[in-house]
Structure 1
Amino acid sequence: MKKTVSDKSRQRLERLAWYLDSSIKVPGFNARFGVDALIGLIPGIGDTLGALVSGVVISEAARLGAPKSLLVKMAFNVGLDAVVGAVPVLGDLFDFAWKANQRNVQLLNAYLDKPRETLVASRLFAWGLGAVLLGFVLLVGALGFLLVRALLAVVAGA
């Protein structure tokens, strides 16, 4: 049986995700981490480099026709990995647990196997993420307004 390009792409992405997230076994424990966690140990640029390498999975998903809402969900996984990974010590521990690349390959495989169900779930996620971000922007704006108002009251009273 001849393998399709999609099957070859899936295998290549699964192998890449495994190398990045789970290729190294911790001796004496039932735990694994990957090259992404090691790259993340490089101060200043490690998590950025890891995110760039993780972008390969997202770009391949786009090439295979994944919808924008799924790509947003995948980018969120990588972004969360990069942002939390940048926090000293806590971020390094997070890198061992949060396997963004393997999550993204699972999302892509789910989409390729059952596009309709995955599309609905990823759209709900994208809308929810948008609502959370909008709420955050409104909260920061309200806090900024209150801070300026308080500063003006202090200046006017002085």
Structure 2
Amino acid sequence: MYTATNPEIISPRTKRGGKIFDDENLDILSHILDDFIKVPGTSIRFGLDGIMGAVPGIGDILGGIASCIIIIAAWMRGVSYVTVTRMVANVGIEVVVGSIPILGDMFDIAWRANRRNYALLTGSLYQPRKYTIQSWLFLAALCIVLAALVLLPVLLAAWLMTAAFHALFGADIHIHSWL
């Protein structure tokens, strides 16, 4: 059975992909996508992903597709499924937030999903337990944030309906009676 701590046993997924998905090529890809251009006189760096993201509509989608190469490589090299899921979440966050004009482009430059994902890939291969636990914690926090984003508008709507009902009819109705 394949384990990342036992290098003598090679994952069947590793046989596919060969040299194209090695660390050196993936590091170069993440560098090109996220930070190969330096703004003179600053520490700000950006890459092809940030440039493509500036193209309205299709730019962020193309950047997301390019980012999938590192995710596919991680899967093929035997990175844990929870870490691969975290990598997908990193790219998803970058694509969704990056689609916001101007602010999204600045977020793309700061978030650097490809560098994050490359670090997750290499770290997961050499310290799988640590990165699996970190990925579970990240995904748990992401689920909590998403649940809050869903619940807050619902609670706000309930509060507004209660306030409107009270203003129109003078009745004393409380939100806890709805729940």
Structure 1 length-normalised TM: 0.81
Q: How many residues align structurally?
A: 154
Match of 2:159 among 115, 128, 146: 146
Shift, 1:36, TM fit: 0.5
Aligned equivalents of 2:103, 2:143: Cα separation in 1:
26
Shift, 1:154, TM fit: 6.7
Question: Which of the pair is proportionally richer in helix?
Answer: 1
Matched, 1:135 2:148: yes
CA RMSD of aligned residues (A): 2.5
Amino acid at match of 2:130: E
Residue 93 of structure 1 corresponds to which residue in structure 2? 106
Structure 2 length-normalised TM: 0.73
Shift, 1:38, TM fit: 0.6
Aligned residues of 1:6 and 1:64 also touching (Cα < 8 A): no
Residue 78 of structure 1 corresponds to which residue in structure 2? 91
Secondary structure of 1:88's counterpart equals coil
Matched, 1:64 2:55: no
Unaligned runs of 5+ in 1: none
Secondary structure of 1:145's counterpart equals helix
Aligned residues of 1:70 and 1:122 also touching (Cα < 8 A): yes
Residue 49 of structure 1 corresponds to which residue in structure 2? 62
Amino acid at match of 1:59: I
Aligned residues of 2:53 and 2:60 also touching (Cα < 8 A): yes
Percentage of pairs with the same residue: 41
Aligned residues of 2:33 and 2:49 also touching (Cα < 8 A): yes
